[in-house]
Amino acid sequence: MKNHIFTAFSFCLLFFSQAILAQQPLLGFKNENAASQRTLEKNFDSNLKTQNLDVWMKKLSAHPHHVGSPYDKENAEYMAGLFRSWGYETTIDTYHVLFPTPKVRLLEMTSPKRYKANLQEPTLKEDATSGQKSEQLPTYNAFSIDGDVTAELVFVNYGVPADYEELEKMGIDVKGKIVIAKYYGSWRGIKPKLAAEKGAIGCIIYSDPKDDGFYQGDVYPKGPFRRENGVQRGSVLDMPLYPGDPLTPGYGATKDAKRLDRNNAPTLTKIPVLPISYQDAKPLLEALEGAEVPASWKGALPITYHIGPGPAKVHLKLAFYWDIKPVYNVVAKMKGSEYPDEWVLRGNHHDAWVNGAADPISGMVALMEEARSVSELTKTGWKPKRTLVYCAWDAEEPGLLGSTEWVEDHADELSKHAVAYINTDGNGRGYLSAGGSHSLEALMEGIAEDVIDPQTKVSVKDRKKALEIRQNGLENYKGFRLYALGSGSDYTPFIQHLGIPSLNLGYDGEDDGGEYHSIYDTYDLYTRFKDSGFDYGIALAQTAGRATLRLANADLLPFEFNRFAKTVSEYTEELVQLPEKLRTKVNRENALIDAKVYELTQDRFKQAYQPKRKAAVPFVNFAPLQNAVAQLKKQSAQLQEKLNANQLNKNQMEEVNLLLKKSETFLTNADGLPRRPWFKHFIYAPGFYTGYGVKTLPGVREAIEQNDWKETAMQIDKLSKIIGNYNRFLEQMTGVLEN
């Protein structure tokens, strides 16, 4: 009974607050247009139906649909048909990319005992599509080179830089060895890249049960976590160098494009790489001897983890079909009524490693329902002011190939027309996860206040706030923030190559599982354990749909620069702290070495642990950057005082909108980042040694992290100038508003 009263009361509150909402100002809208936009969004919401998501997910994930598969093409055509039926001007933009598939996969331990890896994911009677053996891609890492190597095995934890530092202190070298690394801790492609740099001749990656297996929860089909024989497929292309087709760097992989010789393609691995299950990893790890692993390296297998090298010796033999395969990007446009040359882009990929119900179909179907609902709105005569471009990318999985080739191929048009790109890539259950350009943070906060969490009936901003308060305490809540974009999905070419303001949206936090890139990422698993009922799919459509509709309809583009300036200022403060922290760490370690602490605490029965003295960390001149950032805060504050749709005439509005559209490009530089010119954004980039993980102010940050003090100074200079140019651009916009 009490519950009913509470619900009724909540409903009144909700109704009341919605009524208030309709009168509130809306970022980028004149007051007279804000109310109609809210009504539009209300109608948009009311069109959304969970059942469509369910039906489409079942359909799109009914068969494996990786690049080059018949069902991949069938899905593209099916979606294109739907978009057309909803009134979108739809094309399938096709490119031709290198896409290797396995010819030979052999992994065996040759001593101290023999074990031949199974490399198979079995059919489960509880999962309807898991038995589609003839259609499934075998378990492999795309863009591993061919190879046939035999060597002693070494366990390298996650295979990230910190792990190799630890190995060095123990005097363990991987030169000439085959390494075995756990998944997680970095994007997978970092593991063979770093192993090869350290001299290893082969790389095995396995899913330790600690990370997404029984340690995390019940395994499939009892729960959603990875079974002993589940394997994570995935690309190991060196994406931090450049994503997309490895043979056509920087330009579209059209049919007749000039292609690099595969042997000269720099983004293929240098050593053969194979992913395996923990069932296959266990005998290998069990056979390792030598030093026991540091405590933080331990996984959840019921063994004592040793590092080796050896006595386990393994033979790894891999060969691939190095075919050129077509990729089918579905591109659906709805022309803008007032500014047809201003494009708001919205995308999700459609290709999967196998059936891919969660990754990527759960996001794809939310996008489709969003597009359908938008098309419903047009039946009443409404049209978006700006052009909408809905995209279903192909070939995201092997390395963002579909989106990257399309973006490279359409770079000029996009530079002229694109206002923003809104990405999704799968969806789950729980909390809004929103990343992107910080000039869009205020927009997204407004949206997060307006979208209602389907379970708790508070705003998705408030539910997320509750989570952060629970995790970090009331006193540490920092307000609604966008995370910075690294890589790992199709926003990368938009923001990092072209400087188009981007967002990446999804719901997660209550949908953990271990089906990722396995044959068990299926409709059956998704509807049992993830967003069963698809109500968070609807929440995603509401969230991304609002972003799309507000960007499309705003009188004044809803960019906000104080948040951006504040964020860059925080990143700068982090950078200033970095050498301090490094200095403290190095000094502390050197002091321990000088005090013979490691010698005196050496257990005589254990592997010697002998860190070497490190060079002192120099003091760095951050002043140019700090001055530029101080100016940025001042300039953005001045701009924001004037940037109000209600105070501008139509001419000013149009002039400013054109400038606003270009603003993010001033954060890029044609030279790009050191050693990877494809990446042109100087505020956000994926880390050279993290892969997906973002490095903010990457030029400076990575120079510091690599202890390259000369490059640090050069990059501080470069970044200061870029921010200086940006400041002048903000000043120019302010000037327009003052006239």
Binding site for its own copies (CB under 8 A): 209, 214-219, 223, 225, 292, 298, 300-304, 430, 455-456, 458, 462-463, 466-467, 469-470, 473-474, 510, 529, 588, 591-592, 595-601, 603-605
Handedness of CA 74, 80, 81, 86 (dihedral sign): positive
Residue 304: CB minimum distance to its own copies, A: 5
CA angle, corner 688, sides to 682 and 693, nearest 5?
80
Cβ proximity to its own copies: between 289 and 655 the closer is: 289
624-629 long-range contacts (CB < 8 A, ≥24 apart) are 624/716, 624/717, 624/720, 625/572, 625/575, 625/700, 625/716, 625/719, 625/720, 625/723, 626/572, 626/576, 627/720, 628/719, 628/720, 628/721, 628/723, 628/724, 628/727, 629/565, 629/568, 629/569, 629/572, 629/723
Identify residue 667 by its one-letter amino acid code: L
Q: Is 254 helix (H, G, I), strand (E, B) or coil?
A: coil
Q: What would the two tokens of residue 297 be?
A: 């390296």
| Cβ-based nearer residue to its own copies, 421 or 507 | 507
* Least distance between its own copies and beta carbon 489 (Å): 25
> H helices then E strands: how many in the chain?
23, 16
The helix/strand/coil state of 473 is: coil
In the bound state with its own copies, the residue whose beta carbon lies nearer, of 207 and 727, is 207
All residues at 6 or more sequence positions from 303 whose CB lies less than 8 Å from its CB, including other chains: 282, 285, 286
Minimum gap (Å) between residue 218 Cβ and its own copies: 5
Residue 431 Cβ, how far from its own copies at the closest point, in Å? 8
SS3 assignment, position 142: strand
Interstrand relation of 684-686 and 694-696 (parallel, antiparallel or unpaired)? antiparallel
Name the residue nearer to its own copies (CB basis): 4 or 470.
470
Shortest Cβ distance from residue 302 to its own copies (Å)?
4
Cβ 178 to its own copies shortest distance, Å = 23
Residue with smaller CB distance to its own copies, 50 or 631: 50
The residue (of 114 and 470) whose beta carbon lies closer to its own copies is 470
Minimum CB–partner distance for residue 301 and its own copies (Å): 7
Taking alpha carbons only, the member of 660, 696, 717 closest to residue 574 is 696
Q: Considering beta carbons, is residue 142 or 219 the nearer one to its own copies? A: 219
Q: Which is nearer to its own copies, 165 or 218 (CB)?
A: 218
How many whole angstroms from its chain centre is CA 482? 13
144/577 Cα distance (integer angstroms): 38
* Residue 679, strand partner residues: none
Cβ nearer to its own copies, comparing 14 with 637: 14
Q: Nearest approach, Cβ of 61 to its own copies (angstroms)?
A: 21
502 and 436 Cβ atoms separated by less than 8 Å:
yes
3-state helix, strand, coil in the chain (%, to 5): 45, 20, 40
Per the CB < 8 A criterion, the answer to whether 508 and 433 are in contact is yes
Identify the CA nearest to 575 among candidates 393, 700, 733.
700
Which of 302/381 has CB closer to its own copies? 302
CB of 586 to its own copies, least distance (A): 14
Q: How far is the CB of 293 from its own copies (least distance, A)?
A: 10
